[in-house]
Amino acid sequence: MSCSPALATAAGQNRNINRSEKSMNIQTRGIILKQIKLMNDRRMLMMFSEEKGKISVSASQAGSGKKRAALAYRPFTLGRYELYRAREIYSIQKAETLRSYFSIGEDIDKYLYASYALEFTEKLLPEEAPAPGLFSLLTEFFSILEKRPGEYLFLVRAYQLKAIQCCGYGPSLSGCVICGKPVEDGCFSVKAGGLVCPSCRQDIGLILQVGSDIIEKIKYILKTPLKKIGKLYLDQASLKAISQLILQYLAYHMDIRDLKSEAFLSTDPSGAERK
Ligand SMILES: [Zn+2]
């Protein structure tokens, strides 16, 4: 699976695009990351499109009503879209719902964790850089979250780790990130972006003594398909340590911090404690 936005194939970009000098039509699958309401009942949608990555899209119809097609204008839906691009602005010509993950919206905990995952994804993605691997991962995450009976935080953290890796920003865990020597005690430098050995860690800040058992768990998460992780559960101490590492890593390297939806997670631990 090709995950890096930079590796997205030119063929993939060109396959469904009819180009002219000033405008073009694009057929793409997509997921709505968020809606921004404007005046006169107009909305802008932030879309994660399979073909073009994260794009802002104007939607004059706004997908009002309860019809199935209207779901394609809302989050937690996989849609197929016909987009028209003129003067740097995309607008939706046609929208069709391919799959609605409607049960996420029927469970408040699932809804909060899924909202957090969407907000994180929106921050992680650069504008207009295709990320087909992350697109697949996000749809997989929705499917698994729908079926999972509890402890959603572990699934979300696994999704975040894989998403970071998918975009080419994954932590270095195979040895000291600076000199390459083996690191036995699981000492992790947020600043250096990976494990650090005793001699290299002297001059580096933001050190976390996470322990080798936690590092092994992170390695396992990174190499195991999300589908399999969706059936696993993690003890609370490990989940807390992994969460701390991820949050500090995201804040330092990607400037992703203080997500609006995050506040709801910390005040509502039920998703993390349920078995
Ligand atoms: Zn070293």
CA of 218 to the centre of ligand 1 (A): 20
- Ligand 1 centroid distance, CA of 105 (Å): 47
Same fold, 5-100 and 108-273: no
> How many Å apart are CA 161 and CA 165, to the nearest integer?
6
185-202: b (≥16 Cβ within 10 Å) or e:
ebbbbbebbbbbbeebbe
Give, in words, the CATH class of 5-100.
mainly beta
Q: C-alpha distances in angstroms, 32 versus 22, 44, 250?
A: 26, 10, 22
Q: Is the backbone of residue 170 left (phi > 0), alpha (psi -120 to 50) or beta?
A: beta
The pTM assigned to this predicted structure is: 0.87
Q: Tokens 């809302």 sit at which residue? A: 74
Q: How far is the CA of 247 from the centre of ligand 1 (A)?
A: 24
pLDDT tens per residue, range 93-118: 999 999 999 899 999 999 999 999 99
pLDDT at 275 over 50: no
Instruction: Give the pLDDT score at 203.
Output: 80
Q: What is the pLDDT of residues 179-219, one digit of tens each?
A: 999 999 999 999 999 999 999 998 887 789 999 999 999 99
pLDDT greater than 50 at residue 9 = no
User: By C-alpha distance, which of 207, 213, 216 is closest to 174?
Assistant: 216
Give whichever of 143-152, 200-209, 256-265 has the largest mean pLDDT.
143-152
Residue that wins the pLDDT comparison between 11 and 260: 260
Query: Cα 88 vs. chain centroid, distance in angstroms?
Result: 25
Homologous superfamily of domain range 108-273:
Recombination protein O, C-terminal domain (1.20.1440.120)
Amino acid at position 199, single letter:
S
Q: Which tens digit of pLDDT belongs to each residue from 62-79?
A: 555 556 778 888 899 999
Angle at which helices 152-166 and 108-124 cross, to 10°: 10
Pick 135 or 273 by higher pLDDT: 135
CA of 172 to the centre of ligand 1 (A): 12
CA 216 to ligand 1 center in whole angstroms: 19
Which pLDDT belongs to residue 2?
45
**Distance (Å) of CA 227 to CA 15, 31, 32, 144, 224:** 29, 20, 22, 7, 8
| Confidence (pLDDT) at 6 | 44
SS3 234: coil
Domain ranges of the chain: 5-100, 108-273
Please report the pLDDT score of residue 17 as a whole number: 47
Q: What is the tens place of the pLDDT at every residue in 245-258?
A: 999 999 999 999 98
59 alpha carbon – ligand 1 mean position (Å): 52
Whether the per-residue pLDDT at 5 is higher than 70: the answer is: no
HSE-CB at 143 with a 13 A cutoff on CA atoms is: 12
Instruction: Determine how β-strand 89-100 pairs with β-strand 53-59.
Output: parallel
Name the one residue in this structure whose structure tokens are 């000199």.
Answer: 179
Residue 153 pLDDT > 50: yes
In three-state form (DSSP H/G/I as H, E/B as E, the rest C), the secondary structure along 23-85 is: EEEEEEEEEEEEEEECCCCCEEEEEEECCCEEEEEEECCCCCCCCHHHHCCCCCEEEEEEEEE
